[in-house]
Amino acid sequence: MKKIAQIAFALLATMSMLQAQESPKEEDFYKIITPPIPEGIILEVGGLTTMPNGSLAISTRRGEVWIVDNPTSRTPYFRKFATGLHEILGLAYKEGALYCAQRGELTKLIDKNGDGKADVYETVYAWPLSGHYHEYSFGPKLAPDGSFFVSGNVAFGDEEWWRGESRVPGRGWIFHITNDGKYEPYATGVRSPAGISMLNGELFYTDNQGDWMGTGGIFQVKKGSFMGHPAGLKWAGLPNSPVKLTEKQFFAERDNRQNKDDKGRAIKPENTGNETPQFLYQLKEKYDMVQLPAVWLPYGVHGVSTSELILDNTQGNFGPFTGQVFVGDQGQSNIMRVVLEKVKGEYQGASIGFRSGFQSGVLRMAFDKDGSMFVGETNRGWGSAGDANQGLQRLVWNGKMPFEMYTVKAQPDGFEIEFTMPVDRKSAEDLDSYNVSSYLYKHYPVYGSPPINTETVKVVGVKVSDDAKKVRIVLDNMRQYYVHKIQLEGVRAATNSWSLVHTDAYYTLNNIPDGEKLKVSDLKTTRSGKAVATVSEPEKEHVSPDGKGKATTAKAGAAKAPTWAEVKPLLEKNTCLACHAAEKKVVGPSYQDVAKRKYSNEKIVDLIYNPKPENWPDYATPMAPMPQVPKAEAAKIAAWINSLAK
């Protein structure tokens, strides 16, 4: 009996050691708290701002403004401040008043008698509307001089719902409302600019994937700049427009690019068309006002409907990331962390995962005075990964240090990565701990783009700093303008052997820095032979000079249905998992529900290319056509979907 007890004790001790060494997850450092909301209040949050007295102001898509007093207490107090407004998708506080961007105007809300309710609804400026349902207005955001910026969503086409149109001035634009109430067009080329933000006095915005936007992106906004979507160029010739690029120039340049590949080589006329590789940087090289994104966000990995940017100004109360930027995503109900730097006068940087698991789509964020982050949520009209239709939650750091990539910075010959804690030198000096690849997105009038021109980038060597908190990775082929996916699955922390909470960073390399390169003699080049990081299949699509992707999958007529392991890389690559899951509803129906329809494989393939939203009336967001999916891959996906019916 004594021996059995000893064995049991030894097993328990071993299990405890294994548990202690197990690497923590997001939720082990950042806790999601859902505050109590009084019955009957529906918070489809469109705007969120912390007021000087610590109260939280919330605007909703339903046209209400709420003030929450003592918002972090167990019994926050909600009071309605304003009502009867038109879809408020932004809120700002200035000099004792709240300002909101309604669908068609910037409105000042004033409580003159101090009773806690707005008495005056003052129109600061009203802009034109065509009446299209998708003409959302986002903002306002305060400039350093107290004036305001607002962004205007494009309308969508009558026949192709996803194709952006600018039916009235201001749609597809970011515009400026001066302190004396005057309207000033500022920049164009935006599609769905849901996240207009001011970071350290500089204007940024986020856009959503769609036509002319291969994936979500984060852009700095300069006066007169063009971000890539041509709809707003319809108004570039107006007398007060600062944008010098015209529609005629854009489409002439597009036709020129269609006759060349990404190396500038001529393509035979019979091979031209929408599938020809076209890249935004090619337009930038000819027209300086073209603004490249500071960061491309990988679709389906770091979100599907990019929302607001927020700067961590908590001085360490929200963790080790003071001065860095967080970006929300409405579709996948998550938040990413963004590390920005300026190289040769332009912003660029990396997107890194941060926290998932919110109850609804993350649209707005605001820091409380205690350093916690309020998260305003909605999925109405768009759909989201979270099960709830709307809500307010709070993200709180528990004071423990996560093992993360703190910064990722470009070097003349690779990247320097700084960590939040020292790394285990043996794992960090092993080249098999790393994997790097690079790819780009198309700039063309199709809904989104798969990653294309993907190449594995050889890691030549690494150098670990003396304090073991930095690793310099030297590569043999950095590609300007390309996204570089940096995987560090093998790197471990020195004190506890933890793996990184988030092992992947996606760095958009607009410019390669000048400077001294490391000598090979300064590098560690050993390999353990235990390669743990691999280039993920979702990025293995290359485009030949004729613009056609090389099919790497089995032939369409395979009799045996593919397994989940075989089809998952194809679903990831073609961004299918951004809106669908195998067993549950996300933005679109589950694949099991599709299988229940008993479509033939051929019918599913046709529906990938030509969706029929009327077949799914219970889903608010219709599926866009996906002509970029290779037919062999579509056939394999269809066969797998139908295998779920069994």
pLDDT in tens, 9-61: 444 444 434 344 578 999 999 999 999 999 999 999 999 999 999 999 999 99
Amino acid at 49: T
Give the per-residue pLDDT at 261: 53
- Look up residue 540 and give its two tokens: 């293995």
Tens digits of residue pLDDT in 368-427: 999 999 999 998 767 777 778 889 999 999 999 999 999 999 999 999 999 999 999 999
Is there a contact between 267 and 548 (Cβ–Cβ < 8 Å)? no
User: Can you give the three-state secondary structure of 220-288, one letter per residue?
Assistant: ECCCCCECCCHHHHHHCCCCCCCCCCCHHHHHHHHHHHHCECCCCCECCHHHCCCCCCCCHHHHHCCCC
Residue 263 has pLDDT above 90, yes or no: no
Amino acid at 98: L
Q: What is the mean pLDDT of the chain?
A: 88
Give the per-residue pLDDT at 105: 97
Select the more confidently predicted residue: 125 or 447: 125
The answer as to CATH 2.30.300.10 being correct for domain 405-522 is no
Q: Lowest mean pLDDT: which of 150-154, 187-191, 537-541?
A: 537-541
Q: What is the distance between the alpha carbons of residues 310 and 308, in angstroms, rounded to a whole number? A: 7
Is there a contact between 355 and 26 (Cβ–Cβ < 8 Å)? yes
Residue 152, SS3 per DSSP: strand
Bridge partners of 82, per DSSP, are 65
Q: Flag whether 576 is marked binding.
A: yes
Residue 341 has pLDDT above 80, yes or no: yes
Amino acid at 383: G
Q: What is the distance between the alpha carbons of residues 88 and 44, in angstroms, rounded to a whole number? A: 10
The interaxial angle of helices 601-609 and 631-643, nearest 10 deg, is 130
Give the per-residue pLDDT at 231: 97
- Look up residue 200 and give its two tokens: 């350290």
Residue 4 has pLDDT above 80, yes or no: no
Task: Kindly report, as residue ranges, where domains of CATH 1.10.760.10 are found in the chain.
Answer: 564-644
Q: Residue 68's pLDDT band (boundaries 50, 70, 90)?
A: very high
DSSP 8-state symbol, 312: -
Q: Lowest mean pLDDT: which of 197-201, 270-274, 511-515?
A: 270-274
CA angle 171, 177, 179 (to 5 degrees): 175
Give the per-residue pLDDT at 17: 40
Task: Kindly report, as residue ranges, where domains of CATH 2.60.40.1220 are found in the chain.
Answer: 405-522
Q: What is the DSSP string of 48-109?
A: EEE-TTS-EEEEETTS-EEEEESTTSSS-EEEEEE-S-S----EEEETTEEEEE-SSEEEEE
| Burial class for 42, CB neighbours closer than 10 Å (0-12, 13-18, 19+) | middle
Select the more confidently predicted residue: 532 or 459: 459
Q: What is the distance between the alpha carbons of residues 445 and 154, in angstroms, rounded to a whole number? A: 14
pTM (2 decimals)? 0.85
The CATH superfamily of 564-644 is Cytochrome c-like domain (1.10.760.10)
DSSP 8-state symbol, 629: S
Roughly how many angstroms between the first and final C-alpha of the chain, as a whole number? 50
Peptide bond into 269 cis (omega under 30): no
Q: What is the distance between the alpha carbons of residues 136 and 378, in angstroms, rounded to a whole number? A: 15
Task: Kindly report, as residue ranges, where domains of CATH 2.120.10 are found in the chain.
Answer: 32-311
Is there a contact between 462 and 472 (Cβ–Cβ < 8 Å)? yes
Q: Mean of the pLDDT values across residues 605-620?
A: 83
- Arch. (CATH architecture) of 32-311: 6 Propeller (2.120)
Determine what percent of the chain is predicted with pLDDT higher than 70.
Answer: 88
Q: Mean of the pLDDT values across residues 178-187?
A: 96
Q: Is 300 left (phi over 0), alpha (psi -120 to 50) or beta?
A: left
Give the per-residue pLDDT at 463: 98
Q: Residue 244's pLDDT band (boundaries 50, 70, 90)?
A: very high
Q: Which helix (H) or strand (E) holds 14?
A: helix 2-21
Q: What is the distance between the alpha carbons of residues 623 and 617, in angstroms, rounded to a whole number? A: 12
Q: Residue 196's pLDDT band (boundaries 50, 70, 90)?
A: very high
Q: Mean of the pLDDT values across residues 572-600?
A: 83
Residue 273 has pLDDT above 50, yes or no: no
Phi, psi angle pair for 121, to nearest 5°: -110, 100
Q: Mean of the pLDDT values across residues 590-601?
A: 90
Q: Residue 515's pLDDT band (boundaries 50, 70, 90)?
A: very high
Q: Mean of the pLDDT values across residues 600-612?
A: 87
Residue 165 has pLDDT above 90, yes or no: yes
Place of tokens 């269809």: 638
Q: What is the distance between the alpha carbons of residues 207 and 223, in angstroms, rounded to a whole number? A: 17
Select the more confidently predicted residue: 452 or 29: 29
CA atoms within 13 A on the CB side of 613: 12
Give the per-residue pLDDT at 381: 67
Q: What is the distance between the alpha carbons of residues 406 and 320, in angstroms, rounded to a whole number? A: 8
Give the per-residue pLDDT at 530: 76
> How many residues are listed for the chain in this entry?
646
Q: Mean of the pLDDT values across residues 622-629?
A: 76
DSSP 8-state symbol, 475: E
Give the per-residue pLDDT at 270: 38
Give the per-residue pLDDT at 198: 97
Residue 542 has pLDDT above 50, yes or no: no
Q: Lowest mean pLDDT: which of 79-88, 268-277, 311-320, 443-452?
A: 268-277
Bridge partners of 66, per DSSP, are 58, 80
The interaxial angle of helices 564-573 and 631-643, nearest 10 deg, is 130
Q: What is the DSSP string of 320-377?
A: S-TT-EEEEETTTTEEEEEEEEEETTEEEEEEEEEE---SS-EEEEEE-TTS-EEEEE
Q: Mean of the pLDDT values across residues 191-210?
A: 96
Q: Residue 570's pLDDT band (boundaries 50, 70, 90)?
A: confident
Q: Residue 342's pLDDT band (boundaries 50, 70, 90)?
A: very high
CA 50 to chain centre: 24
Tens digits of residue pLDDT in 464-510: 999 999 999 999 999 999 999 999 999 999 999 999 999 999 999 99
Residue 126 has pLDDT above 80, yes or no: yes
Q: Lowest mean pLDDT: which of 36-50, 214-228, 362-376, 552-566?
A: 552-566
Determine what percent of the chain is predicted with pLDDT higher than 90.
Answer: 70
Q: Residue 623's pLDDT band (boundaries 50, 70, 90)?
A: confident
Residue 534 has pLDDT above 70, yes or no: no
Give the per-residue pLDDT at 387: 79
Give the per-residue pLDDT at 272: 37
